[in-house]
Structure 1
Amino acid sequence: MEVQNALRIVMLGKYGSGISSLANTILGENYFEINSLSDSETRFSQSKTKSVQGRVLTLIDSSGLFLPGRSEEDVKASRLRCMIECAPGPHAFLIVLKVEKFTEQEEDIITQICKLFSEDALKYAAVVFTKGDQLPEGMKISKFVDDSKALSELVRKCGGRCHVFDNKYWKQTQQDEYRSNQFQVAELLKSIDQIVKMHSGGYYTNNRLQEVESEIQTAQEQIRESSENMVEEDIREQAKRRFFERSLECRQRLSSMFRWVMRLVVPGLLAIVVGVIGSKLKKFLYERIYDPWNEH
């Protein structure tokens, strides 16, 4: 399987929206663990490549990317890992939401997605709903979207592409073909094909993603020189891991150095600033109050 030629699909959404389960549904196997954020490794984006209905897909599961309550350093590390997994850029974004009321919390996630990438990313996106069993009998997801002004606007920005799954109840073939994950996977793949065709086979990228890809390629060259008979897929994975670990180590060193400099320098600078201000103030008060011959 040619991993380097796979379609890179990054899945984004609020924690608990069913991203990992949806990834497993699309791939047809349970590759991604559900609710596994207790493991420090799985708090970050992970990827899996598999052939699905004649297409080689790399799904990037970013379940923990927008997890609330994380430290600033943890958030930065999570964002970097997402960038590494989808570098040099994703062919498509799947914005994952549940079939429920679209609240300010969901709107904030969309804002964060656009901030992390850009609003242009929506041109490469499809909106995918989970918990499809919550749809009223006979209703299609397009009607559910039409009932919400905010959702309608989001789907419009995503080229009108929206799909619905139910990772728990729609596994088996049902009388209603629409309420079948197998049917929905086929429809979703058509949307991904449409996105790729619309952009002439290209993918979304930006300066940051290009910088990350350059660093990964540099690491790949180093690994090739020192390792013989290593397949390209393993070289790529090792290069990604090496770059991520090196970046974290560099950030930790810079953070420690900054704290050390602040402890060492700030008291001295404060004393200098206070001394200068005090001297100026003393002179000003002397001239204004104690020097009656000074012309004001």
Structure 2
Amino acid sequence: MSTSAAHSAELRLVVLGRTGAGKRSAVSTILGLQESQQDADAAVIQECSKHRGEAAGRQVVVVSSPAWFGTGCDPEERRRHISSFIALSSPGPHVFLLCVPVNQPADGEASALDVLQNLLGPSAVSTNTIVLFTHTEELEEEEQLEEYLATWRKDLQELVERCGGRYHTLETRSEEAEEGKAVEELLEKVEQAVRTSGTQHHSCPLYQEAEERVRARQVEIVTQRRGGDQVAPTDSQPEENITEEEMEAVREEAERSIGDLNVDVDSIFPSSLPSPAPSFLWGLWEKLTGWVSWLPKMLRREALLGALVGLFVGGPFGGVMGATVGSVATEVGRRKTQKNK
């Protein structure tokens, strides 16, 4: 099988997300990696990684990238990360999986979608991105993700709408055997996104540049290994004495050695781009969720609601109003729970 044929037969996924969003866990779940295999990547967690394996009967390549879309990333480091994940997922991914924690504000992820659209084109978001929700253990025991999004998290719903209504979670509340079903459902959504797009995979000028440079580098590597006195094989002229495994190894070496791509970092990442970490809402959210974390799950949301009212109204009156709202919401929740028993 030629290299191009192999690429068309595999599903290529690019996993993106902020630090702590659950990227490593998502990669491990999709490919069924063990803890020892996860630990092997710990030393290079700040670099792009590529894993190849089988999932739900399909050949899958998963590329994971550090959080290069925030303002805290050095411009040269950002260019290197972008070039790396594009080269590793060349000639183009079938989908981008944006890991989004359900227990945090979504302003950083909204900025990430803006950047992805500016970098790789509108279809990268509208057609080729699936929101992958993580940290769903924060939901109440009987609460469904769909209900949580519709009732409490309009910001997360907006992310889903920008991505064509596509979202998923790999986290299950039952036995581990359910993870296999969750992975299978994810890959079905990937294939559905590909069918909807009408293309083999996502492509844009940066991916085209990367693929051209990777192919040229493949020729150089094979020629060097043969002593430079023979013509290196190409996909159109495959060489009989080069195995598929050898060509795969040559390609991965080429992908990791092409250097920086022509990424206009200054125009894609304006200096005014907001960073999610220092924002007022981010700090407020962290403080509120911190002090209510010890409460029983049934009471957390009601307490958080009361706290928000108190803080935004302000003063003694705000404190009284917040306490009242929290108490009423808690009582309503308690009665609803008793009624359902």
TM-score, normalised with respect to structure 1: 0.72
| Cα deviation code 1:135-170 (max 9, x no counterpart) | 222222222222322322221232322112338x76
Give the C-alpha shift of residue 33 in structure 1: 4.5
Greater mean deviation of Cα atoms: 73-82 or 158-167 = 158-167
* Structure 2 match to 1:190: 188
Q: Secondary structure at the match of 1:69?
A: coil
* Structure 2 match to 1:29: 33
* Structure 2 match to 1:226: 224
Give the C-alpha shift of residue 119 in structure 1: 2.6
Greater mean deviation of Cα atoms: 50-59 or 118-127 = 118-127
Q: State yes or no: 1:56 paired with 2:54.
A: no
* Structure 2 match to 1:135: 139
Return closer, same or farther for 1:193/1:143 CA change in 2, 3 Å cut-off.
Answer: same
TM-score, normalised with respect to structure 2: 0.63
Give the C-alpha shift of residue 129 in structure 1: 0.8
Task: Give the aligned residue type for 2:32.
Answer: G
1:141·1:162 contact (CA, 8 Å) conserved in 2?
no
* Structure 2 match to 1:210: 208
Greater mean deviation of Cα atoms: 211-220 or 229-238 = 229-238
Task: Give the aligned residue type for 2:73.
Answer: R
Give the C-alpha shift of residue 115 in structure 1: 2.6
Please point out which of 152, 169, 176 is paired with 1:172: 176
Task: Give the aligned residue type for 2:252.
Answer: E
Task: Give the aligned residue type for 1:214.
Answer: E
Greater mean deviation of Cα atoms: 214-223 or 142-151 = 142-151
Give the C-alpha shift of residue 200 in structure 1: 3.8
* Structure 1 match to 2:250: 235
Distance in 2 (alpha carbons) for counterparts of 1:220 and 1:20: 29
* Structure 2 match to 1:19: 23
Return closer, same or farther for 1:68/1:43 CA change in 2, 3 Å cut-off.
Answer: farther
Return closer, same or farther for 1:112/1:171 CA change in 2, 3 Å cut-off.
Answer: farther
Return closer, same or farther for 1:102/1:183 CA change in 2, 3 Å cut-off.
Answer: farther
Distance in 2 (alpha carbons) for counterparts of 1:223 and 1:87: 18
- The runs of 4+ residues in structure 1 deviating greater than 6 Å are none
1:20·1:33 contact (CA, 8 Å) conserved in 2?
no
Give the C-alpha shift of residue 237 in structure 1: 1.1
* Structure 2 match to 1:65: 68
Aligned residues: 238
Distance in 1 (alpha carbons) for counterparts of 2:91 and 2:180: 30
Q: Cα RMSD over matched residues?
A: 2.7
Q: Secondary structure at the match of 1:197?
A: helix
Distance in 1 (alpha carbons) for counterparts of 2:68 and 2:39: 15
